[in-house]
Structure formats: C-alpha cells, structure tokens
Structure 1
Amino acid sequence: MKDVILGLGFMVMGGVIYGIAQDYPTLPSLQYGPSLFPSLIGGGFFIGGLILAIGSARSVVGIVRGADAHRLVDIRGLAVSFLPCLLVIFYVLCSDLLGAALTMTLIMVTLMRLRGVSWLLAIGVSVVAAVAITLVFSRYLLIPLPEGQLGLWG
C-alpha cells in the first residue's frame, strides 16, 4: 500500500512541477527555455509514480483479499518515504532565512540520523558536503545560492 500511495504522491508532484514549469518565460531565439528541465523532471516524476503505483496495485489487491490485511498501511514507513520530499519543501521555505549552506547541512544531518549514522559523523559529513556544494555553485559555476539573513555564510 505504501508504494501505491507514494506512486500517487509522485504523480501529483510531477503534475504540479510540470504545470508550474509551463508558466516560465520562453526565449524567442531558442526552441527551449528555462522550462525544459523542470518539465522533464515533472514528467519523470509522473511516469515514475505511475509505474510505481501500477506495479504495486497487484500486491495491494492480494493483501486486501488475503490474510495480511494488517499490513495494508505502514504509517512509519510512509512518513519516512515522504521525508525527502518534505525536506525539499523545507529547503525552499527556509533557505532565504537560514542560507543554502546551513539549510543543506540540516537536511543532510536529518537524513543521515534517520539512517542511524552517529551524530559526529552526520554533522561532519554534512558540513563538509554543504560547504563543498556551496563553493562549487557560487565560486565556480557562478550560480548564486541564498546566503541567508542570519549572515552565517558569505
């Protein structure tokens, strides 16, 4: 059941991403514009979610008909499955205040601790990875990331 719900969730997110990307401006001199990659990502989410939901539908029908009806919904497993999506929303909402580096660090620590990594290793790896990502994007690729209103980076 978890996979069916996840599949439907990814289909909805893919549709929303694709719809939002269609509102992006187009460039008159190019056949593609800023909406190309978000549209591809949204389409991939939708197709992947559809495949996941259809592939899991048989097992749900078997569980409903069979003796394993108590395994129909695993709330903890479902919450853990949606956590990365919720953390992306957290990044979008909080990166302007906290800054990209601190927000990425918090997200990575959360995901690593969820998998049972020790606090010391999770914090160390997260800080190094966030600083490396921020440096690569801001210094080498010249893509500005939110510095945050707290003034912790920059």
Structure 2
Amino acid sequence: MQIALWIFIFLGTFSFMEFMAWFTHKYIMHGFLWVLHKDHHRKDHDSWFERNDAFFLFYAVVSMSFIMTAANTEFWYGWPIGFGIMAYGAAYFLVHDIFIHQRFKMFRKANNWYAKGIRRAHKMHHKHLGKDDSECFGMLFPPLKYFKSN
C-alpha cells in the first residue's frame, strides 16, 4: 500500500510542477522578478549562464529540502515530493535548455509530433522580447493548439 501511495504522490507532485512552472513563469518571472528572467528573452548577456538560472536553483533547494527532511525525520512523504520536484526539474531542463534552446547540442533532429508542438509553443512565447504580451507559459504540456499542423 505504501509503495502505491509513494508512486501516487511522486506522479502528483510531478504533474503539479507543470502548474507551478506555468504560475511562476507567468506571474513571477514575467512579473516582479523580470530582472532575473529578461536576459533569457533578450540574450543581452555574453555568458553561457543566465540570471534566469536562479529559478532552477530555487526549485533544487525546495526539492532537496523535502528529501533532507524525509531523511532526517519520520516525514516519509518528503521522499516522493522531493523526487517528484527533482524529476520535473530534470524533464524541464532536458526539454527547455537542451532540446529547445540547445545549451548542449543534442536532440537537434527530433521532429515528431510532440517535439514540433513544444518548439512551436516556445517560439510563440519568445516572440515578444518584453515581459508583457507573452503567451504559453507552461513547458511540458502546452495547449493542444500548438500541436496542430499548419
């Protein structure tokens, strides 16, 4: 029973993180912390690292806090929550930083239905260089309209 609950919490956390990514991106990154996110849209920096990477560090600390709490207390729920956040972060990094923005030159030839939809959605998000007027703030599960072929 406990393993099924562990898996349910892990998958629920992973899924909830898509909402958190959307919310954080729309209201925090394109809101009061635009100062950290704007270099990602404008590429007005000459470093491989971006101030935007601070958001990755924030969620890494949250994830590790749950895992460390679970390791040092009876709060076993921290394990699936922490690993769910970590797994979402890894998936986000793989899709956003490696696949879409090619921070590492990998998966360049991926051209399936999902890859095309993700690219199209992200391209529409980056269409605007400012913090206003952007669309499609999620990452792994953008609206279905981006998956329809033109």
Q: TM-score, normalised by structure 2?
A: 0.34
Ranked by relative contact order (alpha carbons within 8 Å, sequence separation 6 or more), the top structure is 2
Higher helix share: 1
Q: TM-score, normalised by structure 1?
A: 0.33
Q: Name which one, 1 or 2, has greater alpha-carbon Rg.
A: 1
